[in-house]
Structure 1
């Protein structure tokens, strides 16, 4: 893939060896420009105004300001900056909590470098990334939640999700792209984006990752 404009990436991790390894991998791709390295969340936040990254690769456990609080602060102060968490933790609670805060993707630290690059491209272009791990987490939570009803949950009706929006939301939960949803429902990509944005407004979520977390928590899809 070759872009006309480089994707500006910040790498935040307190382990210098891992951080430098990620930076080295990214620097081999001409589409990426590493504009910031930070050893903790506070250092990241202090330097975002001067570097303006498109995407932050965020560790969770760091001194001074950890990745969870940093994600929350970045999304509050710099809502256009997208965050991909890269962590050793594979517990559901970490994943769903970070998504509810507005994280755009979640990778494990043993992910292949190709998946890291793919996640960056996908988040930059589609706003969110569902890799094999994240899909597995969502599937596990759906299997372990109370019996699924055939009809929409009362909560989905309460927030005013229309039948078409429910269809779009279900496909978003399946992790497919906007263009694929458009093709499946015989709609334009712009129309799908409109439905998606209205659903986020109705549910009070910040992005698609948070929307999926909301849907899973509330049994909507």
Structure 2
């Protein structure tokens, strides 16, 4: 039996770019483009008819932009994965989108193979760290202020020493079972800590959590 297709929605106000993405994805038998939208409101209206597994979302759109559309969708339909595709490459801007719950972030000049890989990855593993996003995180870590030794006390989120330790392991790309082995805790206990950290920081997923940690000098 064939695996179900990954249903994809595309939101971008540039018709030429939309058509190019659709043409690319239609060449992959694993993908099915179920809707297209020229703005965030049209995208959300389409979600009332049929929900995709993954949304490819531009940011600068009329009526309702990608930032507000991401906030609304993640609040009402958090299971839908969102990959931002944008020309914006500012670190602070990218981190903010990840904290809002975006599952991946690509530049519009990304290689077609990377677009396909990002779709597979967010569908199967919840988030996608491409070379661009890793570079953003790396640069923020290098350029963060060093005078704040414990900057997490200056933000209104209190993490225990154990939570900070687990968060630092997460930022290194360590999985929950690997963290459990390293610090001699059960897998379930580590997941419990991770979920509490996400609640305290107001993040929606691992990508957002890592972005929050980097922005606040913990990673």
TM-score band by shorter chain is 0.7 to 0.9
1:64/1:147 Cα in 2 relative to 1: closer, same or farther (>3 Å)? same
Are positions 1:15 and 2:18 aligned together?
Answer: no
Cα distance in 2 for residues equivalent to 1:177 and 1:22: 32
Q: Deviations over 1:132-169 (max 9, x none)?
A: 10111111111111117777843699623452x43432
Call closer, same or farther: CA 1:123–1:162 in 2, change over 3 Å: farther
**For the structure 1 residues 83 and 181, does the alpha-carbon distance in structure 2 shift closer, same or farther, using more than 3 Å as the test?**
farther
Distance 1:177 1:56, change over 3 A: farther
Tell me whether 1:104 sits opposite 2:103 in the alignment: yes
| TM-fit CA distance, 1:68 | 1.2
Q: Which residue does the alignment assign to 1:27?
A: 26
CA apart distance, 1:50: 1.1
Partner Cα separation in structure 1 for residue 52 and residue 192 of structure 2 = 26
Where do residues 33-112 of structure 1 align in structure 2 (5 Å cutoff)?
33-112=32-111
What is the alpha-carbon distance in structure 1 between the residues aligned to residue 140 and residue 198 of structure 2?
21
Displacement of 1:83: 0.7
TM-score (norm 2): 0.86
Tell me, yes or no, if the aligned pair for 1:130 and 1:175 is still in contact at 8 Å.
no
Is the 1:161–1:199 contact (alpha carbons within 8 Å) kept by the matching residues of 2?
Answer: no
Change (3 A) 1:51 1:94: same
User: Which of 191, 205, 217 lines up with 2:215 in the alignment?
Assistant: 217
1:58-84 residue CA offsets vs partner (Å, 9 max, x unmatched): 001111111111111111222221110
Contact map agreement 1:126 1:178 (CA 8 A) in 2: no
Going from structure 1 to structure 2, the CA distance change for 1:185 and 1:128 (only over 3 Å counts) comes to farther
How far apart, CA to CA, are the structure 1 residues paired with 2:191 and 2:48? 29
Task: Give the CA RMSD over aligned residues.
Answer: 2.7
> TM-score with structure 1 length normalisation?
0.85
SS of structure 2 residue aligned to 1:118:
helix
2:172 to 168, 171, 174: 174
Aligned-partner Cα distance in 2 for 1:220–1:139: 13
Give, in whole Å, the separation in 2 of the partners of 1:161 and 1:3. 46
Whether 2:105 is the aligned partner of 1:120: answer no
Moved over 6 A (4+): 148-152, 182-189
